[in-house]
A and B are shown apart, each in its own frame.
Chain A
Amino acid sequence: MRVWLTKAIVRRLLITQSIVAVIELMTGPAGSNSQPVYGFSHSFGESSSFFGLFRTQRWVTFFFVGLICWGVASFWISQGSRVRKSVHDALAFPRAATQKRPVRWGAMAVLLGFAIILPHVETAPFWQAAMVEQIAVYVLLAIGLNVVVGFAGLLDLGYVAFYAIGAYTTAWVTGALPTPALFHHALNPFFAIPVAIAIVMIAGIILGAPTLRLRGDYLAIVTLGFGEIITIFANNLYGITGGSLGSNQIPHPSIHLGPIKYIWGLAPVPYYYLALGFVVLFIIIFSLLERSRVGRAWTAIREDEVAAESVGINPLKYKVMAFAIGAASAGFAGVLTASQLIFIFPASFTLQFSINILVLVILGGMGSIAGVVFGAILIQTVTEFLFHSPPSGYQPQDLYIYLGALLVAMMIFRPSGLIPSKRRQREIRLSEAEHEGHLDEVLTGDDT
């Protein structure tokens, strides 16, 4: 037997081929009750194009895809560290450049400029709507959840509750709920913005004060419950929230300031600019906070709560603060959604939603604002693209399979996210190194 034909390489071949077979099944035609085997047999047997060269059966194409993956994986395992090192060396100059302040500010200005002209470049109605409803809202939610999960290190599985409270507050302030309006007569949704933000922050304090004494898993379970409670309230308090039908009479926001009159109508672009303004505002506030004493206190609590307490940090106070501040952007996102779509109903505020936001934060990079913004934009854009023009074999319900697979892959290969926060990355590496006993490697590593 040749030397290269070792056991591991054969095993890897089998693994890649079985993964490919699973993908083949997933992307193949769906079976039905009358023909349960159809999906299975046709997933492999159906005729398809072999990379556009000639037609053959699906399994042949996929077998070759598997072989390529196997080759790449084998190469990466044997030569990966060398490749990574050379890439790392090649990127030394651009990386040093990004550390410089003018470069950073310039890049941010370019990105902001791009975001401003984007609606004039992409004029397809589908994408303009998606930019507000699917991207801007998710970015707002992701940067808010990042304060809780990334900065303070608290796992919140009920974050959607704050979004729901924001949306329902909008309906309440504008008199679109069965219950009388907050200030007795219907107001413009604009006034809902400060009210909603204030109410979600109070909700954050009310939820946080008793529950944030809990740690880790227990906190996650309680927040999960909180999210469910809010949805169930919205669903069942018929006389107050309108029940499962929700509310569908929320007015669009408008400005009547002397001679200035502007009405946000049905078109999504004006909402896009409104959202963009608030995204920028929240990013500025949150990044200032991160670099302030408050941000450092959050990091201290996250890294060692007992030590943090020993230098006079009140953990509960800072955790509640993280909850309340993180909730603020969700509150605004709620106002945005409610006033743009003019209808809200409880079914849109589910646990699934909280988890989706969490996935964006984890993929983007917990604790890194740039990371979560990028992650949210990337994932949501791809999701919308798949929804808009699905490739052959893709069904909308497959989305979560791919997202799940992506999450698993990220956790293995890049647990600190796409654009990791330096400190988070260090924390993860330190804790891994502690288990595996190669602390020196981490401490002399490239990022320190």
Chain B
Amino acid sequence: MLDILFFAGLVLYFIAMTGLFVSMVFHQEGLRKISWYIFMAGALAALVYLIIRGVKAGRLPMSNQFEFACSFSWGIAAILIFMHYKLKIEWADSLGAAMTFLILSYAALQPREITELMPALRSAWFGFHIGSAAFSYACFLLAGAAGIRYLLSHKKNPQDPQLEKMDYMIYRLIAVGLLLLTITILSGAIWAEEAWSSFWTWDPKEVWALITWILYAIFLHLRLGRKKKGVFAAWYAIIAVPVVLFTFVGVNTLLPGLHSYGSVIFPYIL
């Protein structure tokens, strides 16, 4: 049952993504609307999946790469839906849906069994730290998506009135993402002091979270202080995405450390 929900979400995202791209290229309004509803159905399936999994596990579903990727993917979908309805932004739908699908596809490659939460993760900070990370990464990925959309629109028509909004959205997403990443890092530091006795251990995950934070802080300084907007900002938002993905996937797989849960380094956290 759970697996069916998961793959239903994945398939719905794929159909929605394909439909949104086709509708974007061929300007098919009807198809765009249908695809959007399919995307929302996918987000609903993913949400129900996460809720059931959380109830079954008796905790928030964010404890390993699979669960984090699911939450991350759902975070992108949630922000995209918020942007669509609250901010009336529809130009991000196709690329946002692609990001949602790709992250959930990555989740599909991970082991899906529900495992018991290890003692180190049993903390009041668990949901706060990991939840803010999922939404922060989601904001950065969507900023990258907005960057791609900006460049495409700019190439087509540099006078497109939507460009200003896209540019502002890149900035806004990065600003919110940075705020959330700050909360992630600081709550992680407080948690680390409770669990490991030190606020900061220069663990690779911490270091790459700091690198990501600095990169986006530089972006905001350049934008607000040096008025670096438009094409520059769009390229910056796109180029920074691999750094976010490396912090999420690469560090856990290539650079073992305290955050490599399940590895033999800290068999029971300790």
Q: Are A and B associated in one complex? A: no
B residues apposed to A, CB below 8 Å: none
List chain A positions with a Cβ less than 8 A from chain B.
none
